[in-house]
Amino acid sequence: MAYSLFLTGAAQEIATIWTANAVIIAGLMTLDRRRGAVLLAVTSVLHLLLSLATSSSSAFALAVTILDGVQIAATAFALRLLRLPGKVRSMRGLLVLTAVSAVFTAATSIAVNGVASLAEGGGFWTGWSGWTTSNVLGVAIALPTILILLDRRHAEAFPVRGWLEPAAGLAAIAAVSWTVFTGPPQMRVLVFAPVLLAAFRGGPRAAALSVMAALAFAIPAVLSIVGLDPRAAAEPMRHLLLFHIVLYAVSMAAALALGRQARLSALLVRRQAAARAAQARAQAANAAKSDFLATISHEIRTPLNSILGFAALVAEDAELSPENRRRLDLVGRAGRSLAEIVSDLLDFAKVEAGRLELVLSPASPAALLRDAAAIIAPEAEAKGLTVSVEVESRPAPLGGQDPEALFSLDETRLRQVLLNLLNNAVKFTTQGGVTARLSIGPDPGLLRFSVADTGIGIAPEVQARLFQRFSQADSSISRAYGGTGLGLAISKALVGQMGGTIWVESALGVGAVFHIALEAQPAQAPEPVEETGPERAAARVLLVDDHPMNRELGDALLTLAGCQVFTAEDGFQAVEAARTGTFDLILMDVHMPGMDGLAAARAIRALDGPMADAPILALSADVLPEQVARCRAAGMDGHVAKPIRRDELLAAVSRALSTPRGRDRTSHDGATHGKSVSP
């Protein structure tokens, strides 16, 4: 304000640029009403005192002060009424603020200048153009500058590091401005260099301050050449102000673009940090969920092992009454249903975590389909349903397809999908039958399975969500037929992992047909393993388990198979028994107090003598892939999941006993022991 008054009063009333109003308008836009009123009052008093010091007429000074105060208040009120933001962060915001404030300032400045001129005895339009231009240019440049300086976002995007660089930049701008504006007009373009450098280094704040600094040094430089005569200085001063308007527009456009880029970069950094934090939380939650499922699975499978195992043993009693046999069968069905639910939950957790892996081996899809149908046949027959299997081979362009051909498949997972479809078909069918079909060809390796039933059918509007998790046709389905609603979701994920597709064709009341189409590479049958040595009827088996019922069940199953069974309660006893005895096979539980099964397996592998090469099978309710992998890494040769099925246990024991002894056990990281066994 003092500088503007000096130029307009003491310097022979030369209309340069009036920035004082812009500073107060910015304050009124950003402060609340009470503080704004205090600011307006204080600056008005200061304006009056400075006007009295530079003016010969006290009445004129008072009139100008009052008129300026009214103009400032009216402009700030208009900008607030139009809800213009008190921040300048884009070129669009700068243009809107500048245009609105300039138009309103021009209109009010003409009125203020006319009243002030009449107060001095002049005409209304006397000198209106010069003073209006100085006021408009002052608001157009100073108002956005003040708002930018008050915005902390610009300071955060371009922090000031030390005072040396700003001081050097200001000195360069001062030197260049004074030099070029006291020299030839062609040199004025050199002012762009230090100002744009400041804009690139310091952003909008530095650009605005640089232009104001250049203008502050350029005005006295021009006046030192043309003198203080208002008429002689009018034209050069007008050119000076227009030049700085262009300089201000160019530098602010560049600075605001850089500021936007800096804010976007900072936003990207914050979003990336938030994404990493969210990913870490999701991974932690997923790990907690996996641990929870693994723990629940272990705790449920352990008692189920005894329930299903002893039920099966008692059911073999020839003296059992038909009624008691029926009740035991119900116990077995309920136990197996619970085991299937736990397996579904674990399988779906693997699918969601992306940890589902396929174990490919030569397999006959026709044999798989027949096996799956044979498994569900007793339940279907109990309901009075027929079960049929059809296998056809379509002619290939280069020759016929063998319906019993072998393909590279994950036998366990494909059987799981087929059993799920067949179980659903039997579950939702009350009369009629179930037909399972396999078509091989005509393209090499093309396999098409279908499972058709004559059950309740599926409405078209619910078929789209049928393969979603926890989804069934409606809530009454789960109440009437049971199930978690995960089976088809898991089947879809498994088929997708195999590179195939699964879909359904159905309508209410006419049954359903589920289709599977996938491609598999033809495979050769593996070389048969020649069994060596004497009969294994008296094989010596060490059974290690801390649970008495599990030891009793395992002892009974293995004894019925003709094995000689020895038991141990923990890892310490197992290692001691292996050190002092000789066994053909060790069945090892994993979770045991003191020394667990993994540590016991490592200790046995480290023994001297033939027991270091004895086959060790994990006998555990830990069925997740990483848990099975840990068993392999500890030196175990295989894994049998709890609850134990007699046929699976005896098959694993037979394979382990028929495998030649003395294998390479120099590495126990799982690489030399084949792939993990899926539950």
CATH of the domain at 613: 3.40.50.2300
Beta strands in 178-315 (DSSP E): none
Contact 344, 490 (CB under 8 A): yes
Other CB atoms within 10 Å distance of the CB of residue 112:
23
Q: Please determine, for residue 374, whether its predicted confidence score (pLDDT) is greater than 90.
A: no
- 314: in domain: no
Q: How many CA within 13 A on the CB side of residue 599? A: 10
Among 519, 548, 563, the domain boundary falls at 519
User: Are 541 and 630 found together in one domain?
Assistant: yes
For 624, the domain range is 536-658
The verdict on 5 and 145 lying in the same domain is yes
Spatial separation of the C-alpha atoms in residues 655 and 365, rounded to whole Å:
23
- Arithmetic mean of pLDDT, 268-276: 92
Residue keyed to tokens 């209410």: 508
Encode pLDDT of 193-238 as tens digits: 999 998 888 888 888 889 888 988 888 888 888 877 767 777 888 8
The pLDDT of residue 659:
74
- What pLDDT was estimated at residue 425? 92
Cα 357 from Cα 50, distance rounded (Å): 85
Contact 635, 629 (CB under 8 A): no
Summary mean pLDDT of the chain = 80
Q: Does 137 fall in a domain?
A: yes
Give the type of residue at 468.
Answer: Q
User: What's the angle, vertex CA 586, arms to CA 585 and CA 589, rounded to 5?
Assistant: 150
Q: Do 594 and 445 belong together in one domain?
A: no
Q: What's the DSSP call for residue 643? A: S
Examine the domain organization and report whether 548 and 495 are in the same domain.
no
Residues 7 and 146 in one domain: yes
Residue 79 contacts by C-beta under 8 Å, 6 or more apart in sequence? Answer: 25, 29, 97, 100, 101, 104
d(C-alpha 589, C-alpha 45), whole Å? 92
Residue at 187 is within a domain: no
Beta bridge partners of 505: 513
- Report whether pLDDT(167) > 60: yes
* Across 5-9, 93-97, 430-434, 618-622, least confident range: 5-9
> Please, what is the Cα angle at 234 between 121 and 65, to 5 degrees?
45
Residue 33's pLDDT is 84
Based on the structure, what is the number of domains in the chain?
A: 3
**10 Å Cβ neighbour count for 110?**
17
Q: Which helix (H) or strand (E) holds 83?
A: none
The listed range with the strongest mean pLDDT (4-8, 82-86, 290-294) is: 82-86
395 domain residue, yes or no:
yes
Is 35 contained in some domain?
yes
**CATH number of the domain that 488 lies in?**
3.30.565.10
What lies within 8 Å, CB to CB, of 602 at 6+ separation is 634, 635, 668
Residues 554 and 505 in one domain: no
Q: Which of 104-118, 182-196, 374-388, 428-442 has the lowest mean pLDDT?
A: 104-118
Is 439 in the same domain as 497?
yes
Whether residues 9 and 137 fall in one domain: yes
Cα distances from 562 to residues 180, 408, 538, 555, in angstroms, run 109, 35, 6, 11
The answer to whether residue 488 sits within a structural domain is yes
Of 95, 129, 150, the one marking the end of a domain is 150
Domain-located, residue 326: no
What residue has token string 């007793």?
Answer: 378
pLDDT tens-digit map of 621-676: 777 777 888 899 999 998 888 888 888 888 888 888 887 654 444 333 333 333 22
Residues 138 and 83 in one domain: yes
Strand, coil or helix: 125 = coil
Residue 68 neighbours by CB distance under 10 Å: 25
pLDDT score of 484 more than 70: no
d(CA 225, CA 269): 52
Percent of the chain with pLDDT strictly greater than 90 = 18
Residue the block writes with tokens 């599990």: 550
Which residues, 6+ apart, have CB-to-CB distance to 418 below 8 Å? 368, 369, 372, 436, 449, 451
Residues 575, 463: one domain? no
Confidence band for 81, pLDDT divided at 50, 70 and 90: confident
Mean pLDDT value of segment 304-323: 80
DSSP 510: S
Q: How far apart are CA 469 and CA 643, in angstroms?
A: 25
Task: Give the per-residue pLDDT at 573.
Answer: 92
The secondary structure element, H or E, covering residue 641 is strand 638-641
Query: What tokens were used for 436?
Result: 């399972």
215-238 as b/e: b if 16+ CB within 10 A: bbbbbebbbeeeeeebeebbeebb
pLDDT value for 453: 93
Q: Are strands 564-568 and 501-506 parallel, antiparallel or unpaired?
A: unpaired
Residues in Cβ contact with 472 at an 8 Å cutoff, skipping those fewer than 6 apart: 466, 478, 483, 485
Own/partner pairs, 162-168, CB within 8 angstroms, 24+ separation: 165/201, 166/202, 166/206
Q: Are residues 557 and 496 in the same domain?
A: no
Here the contacts of 643-650 (C-beta below 8 Å, separation 24 or greater) are: 643/301, 643/304, 643/305, 643/307, 643/308, 643/309, 643/335, 643/339, 644/305, 644/308, 644/309, 644/553, 644/554, 644/557, 644/619, 645/308, 646/309, 646/312, 646/557, 649/557, 649/558, 650/557, 650/561
Q: Is residue 91 part of a domain?
A: yes
- Given a contact cutoff of 8 angstroms between Cβ atoms, the answer to whether 448 and 457 are in contact is no
Q: Are residues 492 and 570 both part of a single domain?
A: no
pLDDT of residue 469: 64
Task: Select the highest-mean-pLDDT range: 535-544, 585-594, 618-627.
Answer: 585-594
